[in-house]
């Protein structure tokens, strides 16, 4: 018996179908990568527990206050946002020289306090400047030790630098400072 | 002259489109694999602040999103103009956050639970009062890892 070969399926319209699907996915796709500032919140204090911060010497705390008018008060001084990065770096990178600034970066804590009326934009700007100060110091140290930027380091080396400049930014317990 | 004419007579051969489906399929698969469908409709205005010292979120499936902002124009009549919290597809109060975080935790595999992160996508016009409330609720819910979503700028 002669085998009749099956007629070939016309694949000419396959491209059209594929195009249709392609356009659908092109339209619905979102390629945005989520980026942001990562922070760790402190655990909720137990009831009746008194927060004892007297053990931390005042010189090791860098107090950053932001009020409802988005003004910055850093270590009792009114400054602008552009000065914050340098100020933080000076504070962290003191190594006990200036008696008003930190003993060393491991002990140093940046304490950020905001008002309920502070704008979110300002708050993020402040957080960003504080992070930038840490990153610049880490980069400098990484360059000195390994000849690489901090973000390019791997494993142990990265840990070492991170230990040297631990990012200690404390977001203080909320207080309602100014009312209006 | 005649030689020139002869060439013209032949005409350019039609370009074969036989490999066109292959190319299109290749593109199609690329987009199918990379596509992420938007699972929530934004009910709030959401212009994120800008920052330079940002980190990327590696795994979006471990992220629970909290949107904060003033309701969009169609919602203004019903919900006012003050910034509000949006969880999933509806407006919620700060007190609902604990339940929201717990639901997400339930749905995540045990070994991935420590990596869960909460993304706060707040509008630039939001006030810190509301964000502080959210942060307090997250602390109560023991979801300590947070991410302030921002756009990236180079400084």
pLDDT of residue A55: 67
Show the low-confidence residues of chain B (pLDDT under 50). none
Residue A51 has pLDDT above 50, yes or no: yes
In whole angstroms, what is the distance from residue B32 CA to residue A122 CA? 39
Domain boundaries, chain A: 58-171
Does A121 or B32 have the greater pLDDT score? A121
Residues of A in contact with B52 (CB under 8 A): 128, 132
- Tell which CATH architecture fits domain A58-171: 2-Layer Sandwich (3.30)
Closest chain A residue to the Cα of B69, Cα to Cα: A120
What is the band of A4 on the pLDDT scale with cuts at 50, 70, 90? confident
DSSP letters for A145-175 = HHSS-GGG--HHHHHHHHHHS---EEEPPP-
Q: What is the CA radius of gyration of chain A?
A: 27
Output the CA angle B143-A117-B40, nearest 5 degrees.
45
pLDDT of residue A180: 41
Q: Looking at the whole model, is its pTM more than 0.80?
A: no
Give the pLDDT of residue B6.
54
**Which positions in chain A touch B45 (Cβ < 8 Å)?**
none
- The DSSP result for B16-55, as a single string, is P-TTHHHHHHHHHHHHHHH-----S---B-----EESS-E
CA distance B29 to B47: 32
Q: Search chain A and give the residue with CA nearest B143.
A: A41
Chain B nearest CA to A84, separation (Å): 15
Of the candidate ranges A115-129, A163-177, B34-48, the one whose mean pLDDT is the lowest: A163-177
pLDDT tens, position by position, A61-112: 888 999 888 899 998 889 999 999 999 998 888 888 888 888 888 888 888 9
Instruction: Quote the pLDDT of residue A52.
Output: 58
Mean pLDDT of chain A: 82
pLDDT value at residue B118: 93
Q: Which domains does chain B have, with CATH numbers?
A: 50-152 (3.30.420.270)
Report the residue of B20, B23, B52, B53 to disrupt the A interface, i.e. the one with the largest count of A CBs within 10 Å: B53
**Which is more confidently placed, B64 or A179?**
B64
State the smallest CA–CA distance between residue B63 and chain A in angstroms: 10
């Amino acid at each position: 018996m002669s085998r009749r070969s099956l007629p070939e399926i016309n694949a000419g319209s396959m491209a059209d179908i594929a195009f249709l699907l392609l356009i659908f996915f092109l339209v619905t796709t979102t390629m945005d990568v989520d980026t942001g500032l990562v922070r760790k919140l402190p655990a909720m204090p137990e009831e009746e527990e008194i927060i004892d911060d007297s053990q931390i010497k005042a010189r090791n705390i860098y107090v950053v206050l932001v009020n409802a008018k988005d003004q910055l008060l850093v270590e009792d001084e009114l400054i602008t946002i552009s000065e914050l990065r340098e100020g933080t770096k000076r504070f962290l990178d003191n190594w006990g020289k200036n008696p008003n600034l930190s003993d060393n970066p491991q002990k140093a804590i940046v304490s950020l306090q905001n008002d309920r009326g502070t704008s979110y934009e300002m708050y993020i700007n402040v957080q960003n400047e504080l992070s930038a100060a840490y990153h610049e110091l880490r980069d400098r140290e990484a360059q000195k030790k390994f000849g690489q930027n901090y973000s390019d380091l791997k494993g142990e080396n990265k840990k070492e630098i991170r230990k040297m400049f631990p990012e200690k930014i404390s977001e203080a317990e909320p207080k309602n400072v100014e009312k209006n | 002259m005649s030689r020139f004419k002869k060439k013209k007579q032949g005409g350019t051969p039609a370009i074969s489109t036989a490999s066109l489906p292959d190319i299109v399929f290749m593109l199609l698969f690329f987009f199918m694999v990379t596509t992420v469908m938007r699972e929530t409709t934004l009910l709030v205005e959401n212009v994120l602040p800008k920052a330079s010292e940002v980190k990327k979120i590696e795994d979006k499936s471990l992220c629970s999103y909290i949107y904060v902002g003033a309701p969009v124009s169609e919602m203004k009549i019903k919900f006012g103009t003050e910034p509000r919290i949006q969880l999933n597809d509806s407006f919620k109060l700060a007190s609902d956050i604990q339940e929201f975080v717990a639901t997400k935790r339930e749905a995540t595999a045990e070994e991935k639970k420590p990596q869960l992160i909460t993304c706060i996508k707040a509008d630039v016009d939001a006030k810190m009062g509301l964000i502080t409330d959210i942060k307090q609720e997250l602390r109560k819910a023991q979801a300590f890892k947070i991410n302030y979503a921002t756009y990236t700028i180079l400084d």
